[in-house]
Every structure is written in C-alpha cells, then in structure tokens.
Amino acid sequence: YGVQFTGFLFTMGCLFIPTSIMSYSSLRGLDRHLLGAALLASISTAVGFVLSLAFSQLPTVPTIIVVMVTLGWIFDVFLMPIRSPRL
C-alpha cells in the first residue's frame, strides 16, 4: 500500500497545490491561471526530483511537495506584482 499512497500523494499534490496557490495570485483569466499552475507543478517536480537524486536520503514525493509549496510561496510573495486594493 505504500506505493499506492505515494502515487496518490503525488497526484493530489500536483493537482491541488499549484492551482490553490495560483488562486491567490493577481493573474487574471483562466489561461494565465492554468499556465501558472502548470509551470509551478512542472518546475517544482523537476527540482524536487533532482534534489531527491542528489540527496538520496530524501524521499522523492514529499520532497516534490515541499518544493512545490516553497516555490509557490516564493512566486506569490516575491515575483507577483503588488496587488491593488479592491474597491
């Protein structure tokens, strides 16, 4: 059951974490939202996988999820333009 749970964790993480993080961004429109979520998921999966290869004691899927949350936070806080207040 460990392999099935790991696959489930990876699938749920890649489906819900990027789109949840991108929902708080100032990107407007479905196309931009989907592009941002796809980029966030792809980049964090690649970085997490490389980190788990470089540091063999790190488990792959939790590393990818942690990288996904961290990159999403960095993207949201530092790289997004300052939001204008809603009136």
- Residue 46 · residue 77 · CB < 8 Å: no
Q: The tokens 């990159």 sit on which residue?
A: 71
Q: What is the pLDDT of residues 20-75, one digit of tens each?
A: 877 776 667 778 778 888 888 899 999 999 999 999 999 888 899 899 989 988 87
Query: How confident is the model over 1-21, as pLDDT tens digits?
Result: 777 888 888 888 888 888 887
pLDDT at 48: 92
Q: What is the pLDDT of residue 51?
A: 94
Alpha-carbon span 76 to 57, nearest angstrom: 29
3 state DSSP class of 38: helix
Instruction: Give the span between the Cα atoms of 67 and 53, in whole angstroms.
Output: 14
* Six token digits for residue 70: 């961290």
Name the phi and psi angles at 86, rounded to 5. Answer: -85, 135
The whole-number pLDDT of residue 80 equals: 61
More confident residue, 18 or 81: 18
pLDDT at 67: 93
